[in-house]
Amino acid sequence: MGRLFGTDGVRGVANADLTAELALGLSVAAAHVLAEAGTFAGHRPTAVVGRDPRASGEFLEAAVVAGLASAGVDVLRVGVLPTPAVAYLTGALGADLGVMLSASHNAMPDNGIKFFARGGHKLADELEDRIEQVYEQHRTGEPWDRPTGAGVGRVKEYDEGFDKYVAHLVAVLPNRLDGLRIVLDEAHGAASRVSPEAFARAGAEVVTIGAEPDGLNINDGCGSTHLDLLKAAVVEHGADLGIAHDGDADRCLAVDAAGREVDGDQILAVLALAMREAGTLRGNTVVATVMSNLGFKLAMEREGVDLVRTAVGDRYVLEAMKEQGYALGGEQSGHVIVLDHATTGDGTLTGLMLAARIAATGRSLADLAGVMERLPQVLVNVRDVDKSRVTTSAELSQAVAEAERELGATGRVLLRSSGTEPLVRVMVEAPDLEQAKSVASRLADVVKSALG
């Protein structure tokens, strides 16, 4: 069996790859592994379970709840809430485990299961590996040790989770949003109620689009992966800015008053300077991945903010932040982690903090985001090559060195093997788009000839 857990939980096509049986079995296995690890020692365990609005989430939630309760875990069902809300409530309620059913920005047929440990933090890799191992040994015949009578878990609806999370979001803002008109695109996803409520309570005039989930329309032509509707709505309503989330609302991208995209790098840059001014940017450092735009690095250097770069993936950003005690990190895709107020990327919190900076300074989003110039970035995927040799090919190393000399200090080359497909990603940044395209095309040809 291949590894079930990826970088962001277990994902697949619901009812094909991710079945009710798998969801139930993994939940039982998780309960047993956490009991084995001592997490439940001395008390009756509790889990928080939430989901996004996908139709498949209804039966998968039922399977997860059944699995946990059958293993003696009491369950608080919080219903449709963002992933960061489930993480927050797991910590705030002192629960032993959190479970979120979502496939984030993926299309509607997919779904996923993500587990959170006590405190709302992602499960350690070794615990995920152990859950898989235990699941597999019981799937192939070994019976579970099951409680009976009063030992079975009890299931309760926890409707207060919505208000508790929204109140938390509004309470951590440095200032109110009065006077701002904001368009919110909720991707017909998990934040369709939460985000408009939070922005309105914080004082903003709110216009919502993509906030009518029917179980089938999540991420469908809207949200952070499809910004055209938001750009048009911001201009139409004369709004100060637009905020777009993905299906589980752990991402945030923005649109300025003229309908131009403001990506995760630019949002990070704005928040870094705001937090430094407030004295909350610990270590005077922001954490980003190797895929962050070179313009972000140059802007942080100019502003005197240190930058730590990690491998691609918000889990690596989070690991670096925790290890070094940094307060802010994120990705170009809009995963932004503000560790003082969230244990994971939180799109609603990110949007609120961005809006708060606009309200506090009286400056437009375009003006604030102008702290960094996004350099043209060209990405070419070279398929059907031996990606294992990307770091050992002398021919490729020589071609990269030549490209780097040509680009100088204001350009960058990054070659990266895909973690899931037989391909190599060639990324080139340069002050001029045509130069970036030319260098990327040339390097892609070398990758094909050297690794083909």
pLDDT in tens, 394-445: 898 999 999 999 998 889 999 888 766 778 999 999 989 999 999 999 999 9
Question: In the listed set 126, 159, 192, which residue is the last one of a domain according to the structure?
Answer: 159
pLDDT in tens, 170-196: 999 999 999 999 999 999 999 999 999
Q: Looking at the predicted structure, is the pLDDT value of residue 2 above 80?
A: no
- What are the catalytic residues? 104
Q: Do both 190 and 112 map to the same domain?
A: no
Q: Which carries the bigger pLDDT value, residue 283 or residue 8?
A: 283
What pTM, to 2 d.p., does this model score? 0.92
Mark the binding-site residues, compressed into ranges: 104, 246, 248, 250
Residue where the block lists tokens 């090919």: 393
Mark the binding-site residues for Mg(2+), compressed into ranges: 104, 246, 248, 250
pLDDT of residue 142: 80
Assigned domain for 253 exists: yes
Query: Is the distance from CB of 88 to CB of 120 less than 8 angstroms?
Result: yes
pLDDT in tens, 81-118: 999 999 999 999 999 999 999 999 999 999 999 999 99
Assigned domain for 152 exists: yes
Number of domains in the chain: 3
Burial pattern 374-402, b for ≥16 Cβ within 10 A else e, equals bbbbbebebeebebeebeebeebeebbee
Q: Do both 242 and 95 map to the same domain?
A: no
Task: Kindly tell me the sign of the dihedral angle through the C-alpha atoms of 115, 95, 252, 279.
Answer: negative
Beta strands in 351-418 (DSSP E): 377-383, 412-417
Domain that holds residue 112: 10-159
pLDDT in tens, 212-256: 999 999 999 999 999 999 999 999 999 999 999 999 999 999 999
pLDDT in tens, 271-303: 999 999 999 999 999 999 998 999 999 999 999
Q: Do both 211 and 277 map to the same domain?
A: yes
Determine the Cα–Cα distance for residues 234 and 231; give it in Å rounded to an integer.
5
Q: Do both 139 and 225 map to the same domain?
A: no
Nearest to 155 by CA among 72, 55, 51: 72
Distance spanning both ends of the chain, measured CA to CA: 29
Q: Do both 151 and 175 map to the same domain?
A: no
Question: In the listed set 159, 176, 205, which residue is the last one of a domain according to the structure?
Answer: 159
Q: Do both 296 and 418 map to the same domain?
A: no
Q: Do both 63 and 124 map to the same domain?
A: yes
Residue 4's pLDDT band, with cuts at 50, 70 and 90, is confident
- The beta-carbon contacts of 128-133 under 8 Å, at least 24 apart in sequence, are 128/5, 129/3, 129/5, 130/33, 130/36, 130/37, 131/5, 131/26, 131/29, 131/30, 131/33, 132/1, 132/3, 132/4, 132/5, 132/29
φ, ψ of residue 420 in degrees (nearest 5): -125, -15
The three-state DSSP-derived secondary structure of 303-344 is HCCEEEEECCCHHHHHHHHHHHCCCEEECCCCCEEECCCCCC
| Over residues 194-216, mean pLDDT | 98
Average pLDDT, the chain: 94
Q: Do both 424 and 383 map to the same domain?
A: yes
Determine the Cα–Cα distance for residues 387 and 395; give it in Å rounded to an integer.
14
Q: Looking at the predicted structure, is the pLDDT value of residue 201 above 50?
A: yes
Assigned domain for 2 exists: no
pLDDT of residue 157: 98
Determine the Cα–Cα distance for residues 101 and 192; give it in Å rounded to an integer.
16
Q: Looking at the predicted structure, is the pLDDT value of residue 8 above 80?
A: no
pLDDT of residue 246: 97
Q: Do both 268 and 353 map to the same domain?
A: yes
pLDDT of residue 180: 98
Assigned domain for 3 exists: no
Report the SS3 class of residue 80.
strand
Question: In the listed set 321, 342, 369, which residue is the last one of a domain according to the structure?
Answer: 369
Q: Do both 225 and 264 map to the same domain?
A: yes
Determine the Cα–Cα distance for residues 383 and 447; give it in Å rounded to an integer.
10
Query: Is the distance from CB of 206 to CB of 184 less than 8 angstroms?
Result: yes
Determine the Cα–Cα distance for residues 409 and 73; give it in Å rounded to an integer.
56
Q: Do both 143 and 241 map to the same domain?
A: no
Q: Do both 427 and 292 map to the same domain?
A: no
Assigned domain for 71 exists: yes
pLDDT of residue 203: 98
Assigned domain for 299 exists: yes
| Over residues 27-40, mean pLDDT | 94
The string of DSSP letters for 120-189 reads: GPBPPHHHHHHHHHHHHHHHTTPPP----GGGS--EEE-TTHHHHHHHHHHHT-SS--TT-EEEEE-TTS
pLDDT of residue 1: 42
Q: Looking at 122-136, 206-220, 346-360, which range is the least confident one?
A: 122-136
pLDDT in tens, 307-356: 999 988 888 999 999 999 999 999 999 999 999 999 999 999 999 999 99
Determine the Cα–Cα distance for residues 168 and 34; give it in Å rounded to an integer.
28
Region of residue 369 (phi > 0: left; psi between -120 and 50: alpha; otherwise: beta): alpha
CATH number at residue 432: 3.30.310.50
